[in-house]
Structure 1
Amino acid sequence: MPFSRFDGLAYRAHHPAWAFDPESGEGARIHGGRFNRIGTACFYAALSLETAWLEAQQGFAFKAQPLTICSYRAALSDILDLTDHHVRELVQVTLAQLGCAWERLAGDRKPVPTWDMADRLIAAGCAGVIVPSFASRATSDDRNLVLWSWGRNPPHRLEVIDDEQRLPRDQSSWREHTKRT
């Protein structure tokens, strides 16, 4: 595999209820996503603030919903840059596969190409991928970071930037909210 390193910043726009656990992949594990089937934890982030906004507001283009936006320091090994067509050729992945209508396919109980690709890459030791954004109004400059293996320690180090300790430490602030819904 043509693995590379990613050292830099990533951005994520969370539902505020997940602000207490910003490094979690639990929402994706519970609900599934483009690059993970239900049951597989996955960390989705963007490589720019603008892309994080686009990704988080899918389906709400004209009604922005409340978000908690976080920045992350990343020092990651075993990453595939699937925005590079040479890398895609080497790992036999197409843009059409990456951009598949995964929700419709999953809902129809049909194979989801990105899930099969993720299973194959994870088995080959891939920690994550850099992919184009398929959000509405995304441009070729909008890219995402998708991780299947991450934590606070090398070689897949990811850490939320919260130097001033602004993020909540537990979900207690959401108890009242969860009672009403």
Structure 2
Amino acid sequence: MPELVDVKPLILWRAYVPRWSYLPLSGEGAARFGGRWNPVGIPTIYAARELSTAWAEYNQGFVQHPALIAQLQLKGAHLIDATDPKVLRQWSLDESIHQSEWRSDLDNSAVPSTHVAYQRFVEAGIDGVIYPSFMSPGGSCVALWRWNDAGGPILSIVDPDGRLPMSPASWREF
């Protein structure tokens, strides 16, 4: 099956809750609640290929919540480009997967089509998927299921001045 292996670093943008500023590469929020491309219990990094898309996806069209936006670099990932209809057909999928009502499916005890695709991709050794943004037409996102483990892709945070905190000590309790 066709896949992308990035030759040069793929630049991604991640908007996330400032409280977790010291954990920019954690996928635990997605693991706790599940997401469009991951079932509950599976750590997943959700990021965008454009800064504006990261912001739009984070806020989901609702109230503009405070966010920390970080630039990431991804190297060596095996990604499925689900924005390409030809790639979707090769995986026996169609573009309707991008309109998956995954939250509604979960609420109705159904398995979302994106979770079925996730399982197939993981079984094939795929690290993540590129998919069109739901909240930012023309933008694209990446869901990454594997990073920074032996033999896997390398995901790093761009923080040249070391401004991100290393622990939760920078946050005070109210």
TM-score of the pair, normalised by structure 2: 0.93
Moved more, 71-80 or 8-17: 71-80
Q: Letter of the 2:35 partner, please give it.
A: G
The corresponding residue for 2:99 is 99
Matches within 5 A, 1:20-169: 20-60=22-62, 63-135=63-135, 138-139=136-137, 141-151=138-148, 155-169=152-166
Q: Is the 8 A contact 1:36 1:118 kept in 2?
A: yes
Q: Is the 8 A contact 2:146 2:152 kept in 1?
A: no
In the TM superposition, residue 3 of structure 1 has moved relative to its aligned partner by 1.5
Q: Give CA deviations for 1:93-128 in whole Å, capped at 9, x if unaligned.
A: 222123211111101111211111101110110001
**What is the RMSD of the two structures over their aligned residues, measured on CA atoms?**
1.5
Question: What amino acid is aligned across from residue 3 of structure 2 in structure 1?
Answer: F
Going from structure 1 to structure 2, the CA distance change for 1:50 and 1:4 (only over 3 Å counts) comes to: same
Q: Which runs of 4+ in 1 moved over 4 A?
A: 152-155
Amino acid at match of 1:25: G
Shift of 1:152: 7.1
TM-score (norm: length of structure 1): 0.89
Which structure 2 residue ranges, 5 or more long, are not aligned?
none
Which letter maps to 2:10?
Answer: G
Percent identical among aligned pairs is: 33
Aligned residues: 172
| Separation in structure 2 between the aligned mates of residue 41 and residue 92 of structure 1, nearest angstrom | 26
Contact 1:35/1:114 (<8 A) preserved:
yes
In 2 relative to 1, CA 161–153 (structure 1 residues): closer, same or farther, beyond 3 Å?
farther
- Offset of residue 59 of structure 1: 4.5
